[in-house]
Amino acid sequence: MNIPERDLRPALVSLNGDLIAVPILLEREKVTLGRALEADVRINDFRVSRKHAQISKIEGEDGSENYLLSDLHSRNGTLLNGRKIIQEFLQNGDKIMIGEQLFRFDLMDEIDREYQMQIRRLLSHDDLTGLLSSRSFFSELRREAARAKYEKKPFCVLMMDVDYFKTVNDTYGHLTGSKTLEEIGNCITQNLRIGDVAARFGGEEFAAFLLDAEPAQGIVAAERFRAEIENCEFSIVKKGKFSEFHHVTISIGMASFPDDSDDPIELIEMADSALYRAKREGRNRICTYHEIDPEDFNKTLPPRQF
């Protein structure tokens, strides 16, 4: 019986940190690893130099492809299997440490790559809603803040909380509560633009950040989420069937980069503060950390009281 050859491709698999379980295919002739925004593999670690190390594809005399790891005169060095190197060819299974980030060099076939992606998804996403976990959201938010600073572009952070969610569980039961959270996740996903990111923070709290969005544009997006959820029919689970429906609303707080802060953690705290104000002022509404200029607001948002 002829066994088909495996289509092995070189990849780095992150074994810890923000990128854990991510398989990074080495498809270019040269792949740069470092802290700089322009690095091919960006590592958010102050111990990592801007351009720290490079992996180059070298063709052997017999036509084989070999991969050379080179340190790019980094401040703290590049470790291969626990020892500092200047240049060395990689072997399948080698461990590379850059700052606190540990990678494994693997030759992976399609099944390996799919398996690794499934592990990554399980680690980085909430299994009920399919949205990012809070940890993965913070990782993406830090990357976005760095990009926005570099490119001098705005973005907005939203914190969202389902109103009176305990009443849903008390009235209809926890199966309906879980189904409602799943369907809210779907509502949020369907109303994201390409590039925007959303997460479930735990319980009935959600978060999102909106790329390249001025504050007034952020309010437009927040209103889209709010209105979609207010108007949606959420399933009531009875004996495994979804024949009846109920309604919920959501309160939203917003903070904007760089107007409110250029620190990602501070932006979350500010959006959370605005969310609690929305709760205090009656729920099912949007509050911003700072007031938006009415002229900017009216240019972007169709007239509506909320």
Active site residues: 204
Distance (Å, whole) CA 254 – CA 160: 9
Pick the closest to residue 222 from 133, 129, 304 (CA basis). 304
Distance (Å, whole) CA 228 – CA 207: 16
Q: Is the preceding peptide bond at 258 cis, omega within 30 degrees of 0?
A: yes
Distance (Å, whole) CA 241 – CA 197: 32
The count of other CB atoms within 10 Å of the CB of residue 203 is: 10
Residue 65 corresponds to which amino acid? E
N-terminal to C-terminal alpha carbon distance within the chain: 69
Torsions phi, psi for 194 (to 5 deg): -60, 130
